[in-house]
Amino acid sequence: MPLKPGLKGSAWVEVTAANTAAAMASGALEVFATPAMAALMEKAARDSVQPFLEPGQGTVGVSLHIEHLAPTPIGMQVCAETELTAVEGRMLDFRVEARAGEELIGRGTHRRCVIDNQRFLAKAQAKIKKEKAE
């Protein structure tokens, strides 16, 4: 089944000491970190399209433009929700949001690229071989 705009996804996480701004060095306070919110948004987008890809394919994040609108303390649940808004060849565009309870805590856009997993890894590993040869 081909990917089409309108496909939705979601992912959840509890705010713990491990995903706070203080722990992730993105701030000094024990509130949900922006990098953790970004990762949750990417997970929701990735997981939403993976069942529609061919065996051996995956997606990688290309860009993420987000606003972190409100703090979320340890103990709360955060839900990231995504909607596929455009498919342009191998490029997939998403609208992304994050909520803690009913409060919108983050929003933005995200782009992913469909890849062949083995070819992508081989290209990455070739960089090590090239660096060692120089």
Domains and CATH numbers, the chain: 8-133 (3.10.129.10)
Q: Of residues 30, 34, 83, 109, which has the active-site annotation?
A: 34
**What is the residue type of 49?**
V
Is residue 30 part of the annotated active site? The answer reads no
Give the pLDDT mean for 48-68.
98
- 68-124 per-position pLDDT tens digit: 999 999 999 999 999 999 999 999 999 999 999 999 999 999 999 999 999 999 999
Amino acid sitting at position 134: E
The whole-chain average pLDDT of the chain stands at: 96
Q: What is the largest CA-CA distance in the chain?
A: 55
Terminal CA-CA length for the chain: 45
Contact in structure between 96 and 45 (CB atoms under 8 Å)? yes
Residue owning tokens 């987000």: 66
Per-residue pLDDT at 131 = 74
Q: Where would I find the beta strands (DSSP E) of the chain?
A: 8-14, 57-68, 77-88, 91-100, 103-116
Of 14, 16, 20, 68, the catalytic one is: 68
Residue 133 in this model has a pLDDT that exceeds 90: no
Is residue 68 annotated as a catalytic residue, yes or no?
Answer: yes
Model confidence at 13: pLDDT above 90? yes
What is the pTM for the complete model shown?
0.94
> Would you call 65 a catalytic residue per the annotation?
no
